[in-house]
Structures are given as structure tokens and as C-alpha cells.
Amino acid sequence: MSDITDDLYHETLLEAAKSLTYYGEMTNPDLVVIGSNASCGDVVKIYAQLENPEDPNSKISKISWIGSGCLISRAGTNVVARLVIEQSLTLSQASILSQALLEQELGLENVSINRVKCLLLAVTTLKQKS
């Protein structure tokens, strides 16, 4: 694993940030939520379709996002979207994904305190609706 301060552009981080798998607007979402990180200007808009929109504990069946921001916020958002689908998470489950898990998924250790908000932007954004 790599220390973010020593190797900001770690290969796994770059790949996650460039991934377009979950990037894009969604037609007919059940949920749209916008989040931002005022400390560095990151902005994300997350779209989701739920298996059962009437059930507050429904699993997210489809997720996508648009936005702009630093490498870490884009990579973190892509990882959150991937985990939501791969693990069939509910909105509540997605909103409590941990910093440690995201760091592990991106091959990082010791993300500086100033960058934690970037890494967790998608999680904190989803938390608004959970």
C-alpha cells in the first residue's frame, strides 16, 4: 500500500478516478442528491434507482454520478458506486461506508486529514438521504 502524501498518483487511485463505469446522468432516478466539499471545491450529484422506492430499506439497484473535483473525490465516488452495486447495499448501508474501506479499495494508507472529506464525499452526500 502507498502513503497518499508520498505517492498522490498511485495507479489504483488513477484508475478509479478515470473510470467512467458509473459516471453520467440517469433518466428516471428515484433519488438525486447533491454534495460538495467547500474546502477544495469538489461537487457531486448522485442518482440512484431503488428496487422498491416505497421501502426505506430498499436496495439500490442502479447508481451513477456526475460532478467535478480532485482525483481523490472522483476515485472515492467511483469506489462507493461500485461497492453499492457489488454488495447490493441499501442507502443506509452505503451512507456508512468507512474511510478505512475506501482507503483499502484504493490501495491507500494515511490519507491526510485535509483529504478525508474528498475521499468520503459520496458517503457524506448519500448520508443526506439515509
9 burial (CB, 10 Å; 0-12 / 13-18 / 19+) is exposed
Please write the tens of the pLDDT for every residue from 20-56.
889 999 999 999 999 999 888 999 999 999 999 999 8
Determine the CATH number of domain 2-127: 3.90.1010.10
Indicate the domain borders of the chain: 2-127
In this prediction, residue 5 carries a pLDDT of 45
Please write the tens of the pLDDT for every residue from 7-16.
555 777 777 7
In this prediction, residue 130 carries a pLDDT of 77
